[in-house]
Amino acid sequence: MGGSKTSLGFLVLLPIVLFSGTSSDAHSLSYNFTIDPRPRDGQPWCEVQGEVDQKVFLSYDCGRAKIKYMSPLGEEVKSMNAWETQTDTLRDTGDLLKKQMPDVTPEKHIDKGSGPLTLQARMACWREDSGHTSASWQFGFNGQLCLLFDSENGYWTMVHSKGRWMKEKWENDRAVTEFFKKVSMGDCQRWFQDFLLSWEKMLKTTASPTTGPSTMQPMAPDSSYIAWIATGVLAGLVIIIVLACIHYKNRRLCSPEALPRKPKLCWLGSFCSSA
Ligand SMILES: *[C@@H]1O[C@H](CO)[C@@H](O)[C@H](O)[C@H]1NC(C)=O
């Protein structure tokens, strides 16, 4: 009977292990810039939305230097040292993007009648499960994604013909390319490291209210480690089921006369024998 108890224990343990693995997946920090050089009705010419794991935590008006905090994480990062330099860098980035706009969008490259022109730029930096960090930029006009920039290797990829002019211009502009690289691989990654500790703490306290935060590890375990545990547990489970099958078959617990007395054990026995 010890065998069935052990396998029951594994069945309970398995979802816990798999579930805990989902919270240690790769995290990301990103900033959406929207540049509108000719804003109407007091709209901002530059707006930035910051997201951690696709959840908005701040909204920043670069022109007026006004910040709105959107979530508990926003409240948390407000008090961090990184904050001051972050707003400066976001403002510099907004300025640079605005200055680039007349160059990257000469009239002949814009569709007639497409309305007022806005530039969207999305900077993202992230940490993969392996601990490897990376970053990228996406650029678009009027909501149409046009151009990608891989900050790690410096490659530009055109995803829409409207991005051709921008690509040709920026590819040959060392200062702009270096700026995009530096902000995404340097600044973004640095803020991210600062935010991540608070963010992971928040994820854990909201995801598992029954478990006190003091009993949790400060950093999420590497998910390859989780995968190994899950594989081990699965293998163990399979072995236990096979052993249980052999055991029940040998004991012939599921012979017709045994059925009324041991209905619970026979369910597993008949499952095995029908397989
Ligand atoms: C940021 O931009 C991406 C793609 O450009 C979009 O999917 C996402 O919804 C945007 N986020 C916000 C908060 O606007």
Prediction pTM value: 0.65
Atom number of ligand 1 nearest to Cα 138:
5
Angle subtended at Cα 230 by Cα 226 and Cα 233, rounded to the nearest 5 degrees: 140
What separation in Å is there between the alpha carbon of 113 and the centre of ligand 1? 24
Of 120, 98, 125, 97, give the one whose Cα is nearest residue 49: 120
What separation in Å is there between the alpha carbon of 32 and the centre of ligand 1? 6
The pLDDT assigned to 245 comes to 60
Enumerate residues lining ligand 1, CB below 6 A. Answer: 32, 49, 51, 56, 120, 122, 138
Atom number of ligand 1 nearest to Cα 32:
1
Decide if pLDDT at 70 tops 80.
yes
* pLDDT band at residue 112 using 50, 70 and 90 as cut-offs: low
Rounded distance between C-alpha atoms, residue 71 and residue 56, angstroms: 7
Atom number of ligand 1 nearest to Cα 140:
5
* β-bridge mates for residue 155, sequence order: 150
Q: What domains lie within the chain, and their CATH numbers? A: 28-103+115-200 (3.30.500.10)
* pLDDT band at residue 85 using 50, 70 and 90 as cut-offs: confident
Neighbours of 170 (CB within 10 A): 22
More confident residue, 222 or 49: 49
User: For the residues 60-89, what does the mean pLDDT come to?
Assistant: 84
What separation in Å is there between the alpha carbon of 57 and the centre of ligand 1? 13
Rounded distance between C-alpha atoms, residue 55 and residue 51, angstroms: 5
